[in-house]
Structure formats: C-alpha cells, structure tokens
C-alpha cells in the first residue's frame, strides 16, 4: 500500500491506516492525521525532508520517517 512519503506534490489523498506505536502514533493523531482525513501535499524540501502538507485546514510539516507510517489511497 502507498504511504504519504510516496505522494507527489499537488495530490490529495485519504488516510487509510496509521502504522507505528506508542508516542509516535499518538503525536501523529494529535496533529489531526487520523483515518479518513484528507491530506494535500503542498511542498517537499529540496533534499526531500520534510514534507509540507495541508490537513484539516492548516499546514503541517512532517519528517519522511513519520510520513512513511501513514498509509494512504
């Protein structure tokens, strides 16, 4: 399954599943990235890390490692 890390700039995807455990998963969920949320990829830094996304009406920057834990479609 595709992860948020694989999504190209300008695409909107829907979160299907959050992998990871404990504090990391809780932090991602606290940022508003939950199952069913729509995420729009705005920018990717020149070296690929971090990724800037829009979720629930606000901009958010995620590390590649965190984006890899978010399965999308």
36-49 pLDDT, tens digit per residue, is: 999 999 999 988 78
63-73 pLDDT, tens digit per residue, is: 999 999 999 99
- Per-residue pLDDT, 48: 79
Residue count of the chain, please give it. 73
- Per-residue pLDDT, 49: 86
Mean pLDDT for the stretch of residues 30-59: 92
DSSP-based three-state secondary structure for 32: coil
Topology of domain 4-72, per CATH?
Answer: SH3 type barrels. (2.30.30)
Domain ranges within the chain, ordered by starting residue:
4-72
First-last CA distance in the chain = 8
- Give the span between the Cα atoms of 47 and 28, in whole angstroms: 22
13-29 pLDDT, tens digit per residue, is: 999 999 988 898 999 99
pTM: 0.86
């Amino acid at each position: 399954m595709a992860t948020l890390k694989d999504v190209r700039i300008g695409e909107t995807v829907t979160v299907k599943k959050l992998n990871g455990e404990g504090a990391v998963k809780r932090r991602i969920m606290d940022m508003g990235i939950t199952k069913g949320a729509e995420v729009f990829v705005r920018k990717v830094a020149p070296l690929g890390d971090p990724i800037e996304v829009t979720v629930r009406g606000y901009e958010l920057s995620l590390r590649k490692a965190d984006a890899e834990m978010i399965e999308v479609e």
